[in-house]
Amino acid sequence: MFGHWSWEIHTDRTQWREHQGHFSGLGVTLVKHDVLPWFTYFWGVMLRAYREFEERVGTIQTSRGAKMKIIERTVERQVGAFSISDIEQQCPGVSRDWLRIVLRRLRKEGRIAPRGRGRGAKWVRIAPPPAPPPRD
């Protein structure tokens, strides 16, 4: 779902050598049993990996109405006609029944319109009406 994560990508040997070079450039002599430079490097790698993970996952919503908002945002990102299956693939963890309920509500609000019926039905977004001009 989030792609492949590899420890090797984040702990490239050349990066560790560059890190060791950074310490020697500061005049710090590395003792064979000094774990601090490695530990500092390790935490840097972990923080970079965690930041990458956060970017991939995004923020997780657990509030009431979160699934409805996820569906609405997914529908808003659609370009051209889309099917229920298209939205279902982009919204894991949302049941098809709940998806239909939200699409029905969006249709009643005039935000989307169906094109066709049955299994081959597609949906399209309806452009919102232009905002009225400001009054003087």
pLDDT exceeds 50 at position 13? no
When the pLDDT of each residue in the chain is averaged and rounded to a whole number, the result is: 77
Pairwise CA distance, residues 126 & 32, whole Å: 67
Write the pLDDT tens digit of every residue in 25-68. Answer: 555 555 566 778 778 888 888 888 887 777 767 655 556 778 88
Instruction: Output the pTM of the full model.
Output: 0.49
